[in-house]
Amino acid sequence: MIPRTTLLPRPAWVGGVTRVCESDGMVSQEFSEKHRTLLLRARQACATREFWSAYDESPSPRVYGETAAVDGKAAFDAWLSTDFPLITPGSDGTVATERSPYGFDLGVTYPRACDVEALLGAAAAGMKPWRDAGPDARAGVCLEILNRLHARIFELANAVQHTSGQAFVMAFQAGGANALDRALESVAMAHTEMTRTPATALWEKPGPKRDSEPLRMEKTFTVVPRGIALVIGCNTFPTWNSWPGLFASLVTGNPVVVKPHPGAVLPLAITVQVCQEVLVEAGFDPHLVTLAAEEPEDRLAAALAVHPKVRLIDFTGSNAFGDWLEQNASQATVFTEKAGVNTVLLDSTSSFEAMCANLAFSFSLYSGQMCTAPQNVYLPAAGIATDDGTKTPTAVAAGIEAALTRLLGEDKRAVELLGSVVNAGVLERLASTGERGSLLVASREVDHPAYPEATVRTPALVGLEAKDSEVYESECFGPVAYLISTAGTDESIDLFRDTVQRCGAMTASVYSTDDTVIEQAREAALDAGVALSENLLGGVFVNQSAAFSDFHGTGANPAANSAFTDGAYVASRFRVVQSRRHV
C-alpha cells in the first residue's frame, strides 16, 4: 500500500488558511485558455447532438497507461481508515458511514456538518470574487477541475465501486468517464446560456425626426449567481448524478454545498477536494464547494433545503423526498430526479434472440439498480410475432432466461455485469417477488470470486396481468422486472401512456416490426413525456444515455422535473443584471 501522503498531499491551505480569495485572474485565465478548445467543442456537440465524448471510457492500459489501474487502486486503498483531509465549516466531530457492498467498511471519516448557518456563511463568503471572475474564467476553473478528476479516474472508479456496488468497469465508465462527459456537457450548456447575452451592447435609437439626434446608450450585462446551491447525492450514482448539478451551479457563479448520501461519500469527497484545490490555485475561496457529510439520521438535506440562502437544489433519490423538496423548498429552484416505472412494449421483432439478449443485459446491468433500468414489460397474452414464430409470454420469459444464462451463467463474468446489491432494501424487495405474481425466472445467488461477502443476485422476472396495477405501478428498485400480459398491443400502449403519465418513467422502449405500432408508441411516449428507444437489438441499451446527444430524463413526467442537460437545466441558475448609460 502506497502511503496516502505521497499520492495526495494534503493541500497547503487545509488546517490553517480557510480562505484564499486573492484572485488576480491570471491562473483562471490560464485555465480558461487551456480548455477553450474543449469548451467550444463541447458546446458544439450539445448543439448538434452528434456522437462526441471527451473522456475515454476504456480503462485499458493502452489508453490510461500501464500503472494507472494499480495506482488508482492504491490511492483508493490509502483512504481506507483515514481522516479525509477536508474542512467543513461549522462541523462538529466526524462521521464514517460507508460500507462497501463488496463486504468491508471503508472507515473513512469526514467532518460531520452541523452548524448550518456557519456552513452557509462560509459557502457564501467567496461568492463575489467568483461572480466577478465571469463566465469564461469560471468555465476554465471548472474544466480544470474535470481535468484533474480525470487524472484520478481510477481512484474515483474504485470509490464508486465500493460505495455503489457497481462492478469496476461500470464504475469506471458510468462513475468516471461518462460522468465527466455529463459534467462537461453541463458546463458547456451553462456557458452557452451565460454568453447568449453579450457582455456589452451599443443601443442607438433613431430620433423621432429625420434630423434629430439618436439616443445612444452603452449597456453592460453581468451574469450574477442565484445564491447557494445544494447538491443532494444518491447512493448508486454518486458522481454521474451529482456532477451535472454541481458544475452547472458552480460555473454560473453559485457556491455549492455537496450533501452526499451517507453510503457514498468518498467519490464526492474526492470531488470536493479537487474543486477546492483548483479554486485555491486560481485564487478563489475553497469553500465555494463544501462537503456536508452526516449521519443518516441527521436530516441535514431537509434543514439545508429550506434555508433562505439556498436558492438552487439538485436532488437524486426517492419520490417521497423529491416531492417534499418540490413542495417545500419554495425559496429555491429545485431540480429532481426521482423514480418511475420504466416501460418496455413488446409487439413483434425481427430477431427474438437479439431482443432477449438486449433485454437480459438491461435487466442485469448493475442488478437493475439504475433509475433507467426497465421494469414493466407489456406484451399481448396471445404472444408476439418474431422471426422464430409467435412467442407467448411464457416463451418470451424462457427466451430472456436463456439470454440471462448465457450472460450470467459463469459467476466470474456475472459479477462484472451485476455488481453488488447496494442495500438491504433491494434484497427485501427481491425476496418478496414471488408474492407479487408468478415467478417466471428466479433470481440466483452468485458467488463473487474476489469478494466472498458481496451480495450478488441475477434478475428475477415476474409474470403479471394488466389488472395487477397495484404491483406494477410502483418502482421495484433492483433486479426485478415484470412481464405483463395484455389484451393486445393497443392495451399495452394505453397502459404505457397512462402509467407513465401518473407514475413517471426515466426510460421506455418498444419492439415492433410494424411502422404503425412504432408510430403509436412514439405518440404515446410524447403524451407521457418519456424518451423512447426503438428496437434495440445491438450494443445500445435502454438504460444508457450518451452525454451531448441523449437527454437523461425529460422533466415532462413525474419521475423527474428536469433533464440532463437542456436549456431549462441551466438557464435558471443565474440572472442577468444590466447597467446602461448614455454615450
Out of 530, 543, 547, 559, point to the residue binding a copy of itself (CB under 8 A).
530
CA distances from 371 to 62, 278, 390 (A): 32, 32, 31
Query: Residue 1 or residue 51: which is nearer to a copy of itself going by CB?
Result: 51
3-class DSSP state for residue 534? strand
Return the percent helix, strand and coil in the chain, to nearest 5.
45, 20, 40
* Cβ atoms of 100 and 33 closer than 8 Å: no
Least distance (Å) from a copy of itself to the CB of residue 179? 17
Peptide bond connecting 565 to the previous residue in cis, omega within 30 degrees of 0 = yes
Distance in angstroms (rounded) separating the CA atoms of residues 25 and 90: 29
Looking at 295-303, 398-406, 412-420, 527-535, which segment touches a copy of itself (CB under 8 A)? 527-535
CA distances from 414 to 167, 402, 448, 559 (A): 10, 14, 9, 30
Distance in angstroms (rounded) separating the CA atoms of residues 503 and 392: 27
576 phi/psi in degrees, rounded to 5: -110, 125
Distance in angstroms (rounded) separating the CA atoms of residues 29 and 255: 20
Least distance (Å) from a copy of itself to the CB of residue 68? 18
Q: Number of residues interacting with a copy of itself: please give it, by CB under 8 A.
A: 67
Looking at 31-39, 258-266, 286-294, 559-567, which segment touches a copy of itself (CB under 8 A)? 559-567
- Per-residue binding string, a copy of itself, 126-165, x by CB under 8 A, is --x--x----------------------------------
Exposure string (b/e) for 258-274, b if CB count within 10 Å is 16 or more?
A: bbbbbbbbbbbbbbbbb
Cα dihedral 261→329→312→18 (10° resolution): -60
Give, for 154, the enclosing helix (H) or strand (E): helix 153-164
Assess 575 for contact with a copy of itself (CB under 8 A).
yes
Assess 531 for contact with a copy of itself (CB under 8 A).
yes
The DSSP 8-state label assigned to residue 213 in this structure reads P
The one-letter amino acid code at 444 reads: R
Residue of 305, 297, 272 whose CA lies nearest to 120? 305
Query: Residue 25 or residue 555: which is nearer to a copy of itself going by CB?
Result: 555
Assess 502 for contact with a copy of itself (CB under 8 A).
no
Out of 17, 81, 203, 410, point to the residue binding a copy of itself (CB under 8 A).
203
Assess 330 for contact with a copy of itself (CB under 8 A).
yes
Looking at 102-110, 117-125, 455-463, 566-574, which segment touches a copy of itself (CB under 8 A)? 566-574
* Cβ atoms of 78 and 4 closer than 8 Å: yes
Out of 62, 205, 210, 467, point to the residue binding a copy of itself (CB under 8 A).
205
Assess 539 for contact with a copy of itself (CB under 8 A).
yes
Assess 578 for contact with a copy of itself (CB under 8 A).
yes
Instruction: Tell which positions 222-251 bind a copy of itself, by CB under 8 A.
Output: 222, 224, 226
Assess 581 for contact with a copy of itself (CB under 8 A).
yes
Assess 320 for contact with a copy of itself (CB under 8 A).
no
Assess 577 for contact with a copy of itself (CB under 8 A).
yes
Looking at 95-103, 243-251, 269-277, 533-541, which segment touches a copy of itself (CB under 8 A)? 533-541
* Cβ atoms of 73 and 450 closer than 8 Å: no
Assess 529 for contact with a copy of itself (CB under 8 A).
yes
Looking at 11-19, 28-36, 489-497, 538-546, which segment touches a copy of itself (CB under 8 A)? 538-546
Assess 93 for contact with a copy of itself (CB under 8 A).
no
CA distances from 567 to 194, 196, 259, 559, 573 (A): 11, 11, 25, 19, 10
Assess 204 for contact with a copy of itself (CB under 8 A).
yes
Query: Residue 226 or residue 261: which is nearer to a copy of itself going by CB?
Result: 226
Query: Residue 31 or residue 284: which is nearer to a copy of itself going by CB?
Result: 284
Pairing of strands 438-441, 343-346: unpaired
Assess 221 for contact with a copy of itself (CB under 8 A).
yes
The DSSP 8-state label assigned to residue 176 in this structure reads I
The DSSP 8-state label assigned to residue 227 in this structure reads S
Distance in angstroms (rounded) separating the CA atoms of residues 439 and 317: 28
Out of 21, 370, 384, 556, point to the residue binding a copy of itself (CB under 8 A).
556
- Per-residue binding string, a copy of itself, 29-58, x by CB under 8 A, is ------------------xxxxx------x
Assess 11 for contact with a copy of itself (CB under 8 A).
no
Grid cell at residue 577: 443584471
Instruction: Enumerate binding residues for a copy of itself (CB under 8 A).
Output: 47-51, 58, 128, 131, 193, 196-198, 201-206, 208, 215, 217, 219-222, 224, 226, 326-327, 330, 522, 525-527, 529-540, 546, 549-551, 554-556, 563, 566-568, 571-572, 575-582
